[in-house]
Amino acid sequence: MCGEYGLRDYALSNSVLFTRYCGILAALRIKGRKGDGSAMPLSAVLWDLDGTIVDTAPIHWLAWRDTMAAEGRVLTYEQFARTFGLRNDLTVPALYGADVSKAEIARIGDAKEARFRERITAQPPALLPGALHWLAVLRSAGWRQALATMAPRLNLETLVASLKLSAYFETAVGAEDVERPKPDPQVFVLAAQRLGVQPERCVVVEDTAAGVEAARRAGMRCIGVNRDHAGLGADVLVPALDKLPPDAFARLVNGVQD
């Protein structure tokens, strides 16, 4: 008796989940042809990495703390927080002083990034809520996807490999691929070009004001993910990706606003 009802409840639960999944796919699906028979334009999602798909801030903190300790210096979390998100050529002078040489900046920065990759490989961080769901659903619906981040190439590749995410992305743009950091739009423009998708058909997923501004300058719509509910100026703002409505991406790329 119990087994019979348990099986029925299980089937019902899975039926509801399947129906919801099909509804999301229907909302996102890229149709092959317009009403006049012409091909529908491609659509794409350009993902920032840290703070949207995964939170690596604690790992960066430990890598910087250990690197500074090896240099005979004590780094407080407050000092780290003030420089987090900056490139190493800006972070190291902020910690050491403006007179630090380029060679020292490179040496210290490389040491920190090596420690970061060691920690990522030893214990990959968890994906943020909703990230894997949307990566999978968007891929199934025919959207093209790329990473567009200011992370160094080796860090990017280590994270993608450790988290087993390579199947979701057709290309990736990292720090070495661009000359100017966000809020310059170069990173998003290059990612769209590599995918062969027009800027107006791209949706950017970001967690920083600089990233949102870069998307705006690139002529792209943007979903802002911010757990502190801070106003980023994004077209859609959610505390986490699992809070997005099923048609969020489709509405943005089709120019529909609430």
pLDDT in tens, 203-216: 999 999 999 999 99
Instruction: Indicate the pTM of the whole model.
Output: 0.83
Residue 13 exposure: Cα atoms within 13 Å on the Cβ side: 6
- Tell whether the model's pLDDT for residue 30 goes beyond 90: no
What are the helix (H) ranges across the chain? 2-28, 57-70, 77-83, 88-96, 102-122, 131-140, 153-163, 186-195, 209-217, 248-253
Clarify whether 50 is annotated catalytic. yes
Clarify whether 48 is annotated catalytic. yes
Residue 25 exposure: Cα atoms within 13 Å on the Cβ side: 12
- Say which of 9, 36, 50, 228 is annotated catalytic: 50
In order of 22, 149, 202, 204, 246, the CA distances from 214 in angstroms are 33, 11, 13, 9, 25
> Could you check whether the bond before residue 199 is cis, i.e. omega within 30 degrees of 0?
no
- Say which of 9, 48, 184, 207 is annotated catalytic: 48
User: Per-domain residue ranges for the chain?
Assistant: 28-55+127-253, 57-122
Q: What is the mean pLDDT of residues 105-123?
A: 97
Q: Cβ distance 236 to 252 under 8 Å?
A: yes
Tens digits of per-residue pLDDT, 48-105?
A: 999 999 999 999 999 999 999 999 999 999 999 999 888 899 999 999 999 999 999 9
Please give the CATH architecture assigned to the domain spanning 28-55+127-253.
3-Layer(aba) Sandwich (3.40)
CATH topology of domain 57-122: DNA polymerase; domain 1 (1.10.150)
